[in-house]
Amino acid sequence: MRVAIIGLPRSGKTTIFNAATRGRIAVGDFSARSSANVGVAKVPDPRLARLTAMFNPEKVVPAEITYVDFPGPPPGQENAPTFSGETVTALQKADAILHVVRGFENPSAPHPKGSVDPWRDIDAVGFDLLFADIALIDRRIQRVTEGLRGSRASERDNSLKDIEVLKSVQADLEAGKPMRGRTLNDSEKRALRDTFLVSTLPYLVALNIGESDIPRSVELEAELARRVTGTLTGSAAIAGQLEMELGQMAEAEEKEFRASLGAGEPGLERMIRLCYRAAGLISFLTVGPDEVRAWPVAEHTPAQKAAGRVHSDIERGFIRAEVVAYNDLVSAGGLAETRKAGTLRAEGKDYVVKDGDVINFLFSV
Ligand X SMILES: Nc1nc2c(ncn2[C@@H]2O[C@H](COP(=O)(O)OP(=O)(O)O)[C@@H](O)[C@H]2O)c(=O)[nH]1
**Which residues lie near Mg ion (CB under 5 A)?**
13-14
Stretch that binds ligand X, among 25-33, 160-168, 263-271, 337-345 (CB under 6 A): 25-33
Q: Residue from 241, 283, 286, 304 that binds ligand X (CB under 6 A)?
A: 241
Q: 15 vs 283, which CB is nearer to Mg ion?
A: 15
| Binds ligand X by CB under 6 A, chosen from 210, 280, 302, 317 | 210
Residues 59-98 binding ligand X (CB under 6 A) are 72
Residue closer to Mg ion by CB (options 75, 288) is: 75
Cα→Cα distances 136→82, 176, 199, Å: 15, 16, 11
Tell me the backbone φ, ψ of residue 2, rounded to 5 degrees.
Answer: -120, 130
Tell me which residues in 97-136 interact with ligand X (CB under 6 A): 104, 106, 109
Between 15 and 338, name the residue whose CB sits nearer to ligand X.
15
Query: Whole-number minimum distance, CB 10 to ligand X, in Å?
Result: 4
Rounded Cα distance, 190 and 153, in Å: 18
Q: Which stretch binds ligand X (CB under 6 A): 225-233, 239-247, 274-282, 334-342?
A: 239-247
Cβ neighbours for 154, distance < 8 A, ≥ 6 positions apart:
none
Backbone angles phi, psi at 202, to 5 degrees: -50, 145
Q: At 237, give phi and psi (nearest 5°).
A: -95, 135
Of the candidate spans 26-34, 129-137, 156-164, 172-180, the one that interacts with ligand X by CB under 6 A turns out to be 26-34
Cβ proximity to Mg ion: between 14 and 304 the closer is 14
Q: Cβ of residue 95: shortest distance to Mg ion, in angstroms? A: 21
**Which 8-state DSSP code applies to residue 213?**
G
In the complex, what is the shortest distance from the CB of residue 164 to Mg ion, in angstroms, rounded to a whole number? 42
- 178 binds ligand X per the rule CB under 6 A: no
d(CA 73, CA 80): 8
**DSSP string of 91-128, one letter each residue:** HHT-SEEEEEEE----TTS--TTSS--HHHHHHHHHHH
Which residue from 284, 307, 309, 325 is spatially nearest to 364, judged by alpha carbons?
A: 307
Give the distance, in angstroms, between the CA of residue 120 and the centroid of all CA atoms in the same chain.
23
Which helix H or strand E contains 65, and what residues bound it?
A: strand 64-69
- Least CB distance to Mg ion at residue 70 (A): 8
The stretch among 11-19, 225-233, 268-276, 352-360 that binds ligand X (CB under 6 A) is 11-19
Asked if 240 interacts with ligand X (CB under 6 A), we say yes
* φ, ψ at 14 (rounded to 5°): -70, -35
> Does 267 interact with ligand X (rule: CB under 6 A)?
no
Q: How far is the CB of 259 from ligand X (least distance, A)?
A: 21
Cα separation of 205 and 236, whole Å? 7
Closest C-alpha among 213, 214, 353, 365 to residue 296: 353
Which residue is closest to ligand X by CB? 28
Least distance to ligand X, CB of residue 164, Å = 40
Which one of residues 2, 22, 30, 116 is an interface residue with ligand X (CB under 6 A)?
30
What number of residues does the chain have?
Answer: 365
CA distance 225 to 330: 33
Which one-letter DSSP state was computed for residue 251? H
Determine which residue in the list 13, 42, 47, 99 makes contact with ligand X, applying CB under 6 A.
Answer: 13
Judged by beta carbon distances under 5 to 8 A according to partner kind, the member of Mg ion, ligand X, none in contact with residue 106 is ligand X
Of 13-21, 90-98, 145-153, 297-305, which segment contacts ligand X by CB under 6 A?
13-21
Judged by CB under 6 A, the chain residues 148 through 177 that form the site for ligand X are none
Query: Footprint of ligand X on this chain (CB under 6 A)?
Result: 7, 9-15, 27-28, 30, 72, 104, 106, 109, 208, 210, 239-241
